Amino acid sequence: MDGFELNKIAGAVLTAMLVIASGKTVMDIGFQKHKPEKAGWALPVTEVKAKTAEPEAAFDAKAVVALLPKANADNGLDVFKKCMACHTPDKGGRNLVGPNLWGVVGRKIATAPGFNYSDAMKGHPGTWTWEELAKYLHGPTQAVPGTRMQFPGVKDNTDLADLLAYMRKLGDTPAPLPQ
Ligand code: HEC
119: domain CATH number? 1.10.760.10
Give the type of residue at 46. Answer: T
- Least Cα distance to 105 among 134, 72, 142 occurs for 134
Tens of each residue's pLDDT in the chain, 179 residues:
577 777 777 777 666 666 666 656 555 655 556 555 666 666 666 666 555 555 667 899 999 999 999 999 999 999 999 999 999 999 999 999 999 999 999 999 999 999 999 999 999 999 999 999 999 999 999 999 999 999 999 999 999 999 999 999 999 999 999 87
By alpha-carbon position, which residue is closest to atom 18 of ligand 1? 147
Q: Does the CB atom of residue 157 touch ligand 1 within 6 A?
A: no
Which atom of ligand 1 is found nearest the CA of 120?
18
DSSP, res 56: P
Ligand 1 test: best mutation among 109, 135, 149, most atoms within 8 Å of CB? Answer: 149
pTM: 0.75
Distance CA 170, CA 94 (A): 14
Q: Does ligand 1 have an atom closer than 6 angstroms to the CB of 143?
A: no
Output phi, psi for 127, to 5 deg: -120, 165
Are the C-beta atoms of 131 and 97 separated by less than 8 Å?
no
Which residues span the domain enclosing 82? 58-167
- For the chain, the domain total comes to 2
Name beta bridge partners: 108.
127
Do 97 and 148 fall into the same domain? yes
Residues 62 and 92 in one domain: yes
Q: Is 82 left (phi over 0), alpha (psi -120 to 50) or beta?
A: alpha
Q: Does residue 25 lie within any of the structural domains? A: yes
